[in-house]
Chain A
């Protein structure tokens, strides 16, 4: 069964600190992995997208890693800001259908305190 599991479910950190969010997936055949940021009451916004051959991709203070062999990904946030408080969703796409089916994790709820 194709699944995407994220940990931790929630995380509280102090402003300025770094944090790492985890994503494990069983989706096969794998096409790409995306990280989205979703503010409360808003739609998700894409942070990074990585294909099978990419190990690391950065977007400002966000750095995503991918290990396609172990089917794991992480999102590292550097020097956190209050505006980083949001849900971070890991999404994996498969190659098995014309639609390019997306499998969504439940997200990690990050809260940054001043």
Chain B
């Protein structure tokens, strides 16, 4: 079973608050990803990282930011939460290679009121 963790699992927060969603993996993977998923919709890549000090924006524009100071840790931050940020956020990691397996965390369900 993949060892990738996300906290918190559920978060309800007011508009304007700063939040950080945590993601950690113990598999030593270089690549890590953040996806956003709304109910009944496909996953959208919002950020990814090839390794320490490497971060890139994904296909879906997001007001969030990420950092990668350690291999195992890839937190996502929203400086000022808005109701439009309400969604499920999924973190994933993978090894290198053409047919790499991508392992997903359990997700964080964010609700901004």
Contacts and interface: CB of A to CB of B under 8 A. Distances in A.
Contacts of A104: 42-44
Interface of A: 4, 31-32, 41-46, 49, 51, 89, 93, 95, 99-100, 102, 104-107, 109
B70 to A, nearest CB: 21
29 contacts: A4-B42, A31-B99, A32-B98, A32-B99, A41-B88, A41-B106, A41-B107, A43-B4, A43-B6, A43-B90, A43-B104, A43-B105, A43-B107, A44-B43, A44-B90, A44-B104, A46-B101, A46-B102, A49-B101, A93-B99, A95-B98, A100-B98, A100-B100, A102-B45, A102-B102, A104-B44, A106-B42, A107-B40, A107-B42
Contact of A31 (B41, B43, B90, B98): B98
Interface of B is mostly: strand
A107 B88 CA distance: 16
Interface of A is mostly: strand
Contacts of A51: 99
Nearest to B56: A99
Contacts of B48: 99
A49 B45 contact: no
A46 B41 CA distance: 18
B46 interface: no
B36 to A, nearest CB: 11
A41 B91 CA distance: 13
A32 B100 CA distance: 10
B41 A43 contact: no
A43 B98 contact: no
B109 interface: yes
A22 B25 CA distance: 32
Contact of B42 (A31, A100, A105): A105
Of A42, A49, A105, chain B has the most CB atoms within 10 Å of the CB of: A42
